[in-house]
Structure 1
């Protein structure tokens, strides 16, 4: 059963790990990988990734992607959003904000110390155009 829009948006705001899917140009199955993301109701979902990563190359070619999140308690629910994307160089502080959203303070500090050596990153903003959701109840 589908979930009302407000509940879908509320689920998407939680710091869950998303499955990112993007079409491949060669007709193989889509690339699907876990990713940290953020979302504000009524806005875009966004994530930071390597500027020259496979994810970024495929998203540039496709012009769109899908994010799916799932939670298991108190009931099993999932939300999937698909839509067009905008890609820009990551702004200062975006990668740090994402790390602090997902990691406890000490772990975030250690991660960010390593991230200083990562290759250049981009921020990808997905405008939710199509939603799929379900509340599967207590399974």
Structure 2
């Protein structure tokens, strides 16, 4: 059964690891699909953080849009897929990295991860996507 707007937005707002998919400009290549952390609040835009010169960052810049898919298998099999255009790309900040890390990590691990990420990941940008097309379903229990 398809989810209602409220159900799909609430599900997307939970801290799932998403599969990001974006078309790549290279011939004879499938779309790039990688796991990623994301941030979303119901009714708002989605944002992700990545390196501007990473394959992912370059592909998103070229395509101007991307898709996220999140799922779970318990207590029911449920998924939400959302696709839309990039509406802005801005430099990442420590505050946004803390916000994202706090969504996925326990409080005692956030500072250590943030220090590591700032040192090891290099320059990062925040890419905002406006949800435009949604697919969702709850397949029940199996």
What is the TM-score when the length of structure 1 is the normalising length? 0.95
> What is the match of residue 18 of structure 1?
18
Is 1:5 the counterpart of 2:23 in the alignment? no
Q: Distance in 2 between matches of 1:45 and 1:71?
A: 19
> What is the match of residue 134 of structure 2?
131
* Deviation sequence 1:93-119 (CA, Å, 0-9, x none): 111110111001222222112122131
Moved over 2 A (4+): none
Show structure 1 runs of 5+ residues with no match: none
State the superposition RMSD in angstroms.
1.1
Q: Distance in 1 between matches of 2:102 and 2:50?
A: 16
Matched length:
139
C-alpha deviation, 1:51, in angstroms: 2.0
Show structure 2 runs of 5+ residues with no match: none
C-alpha deviation, 1:92, in angstroms: 4.1
What is the TM-score when the length of structure 2 is the normalising length? 0.93
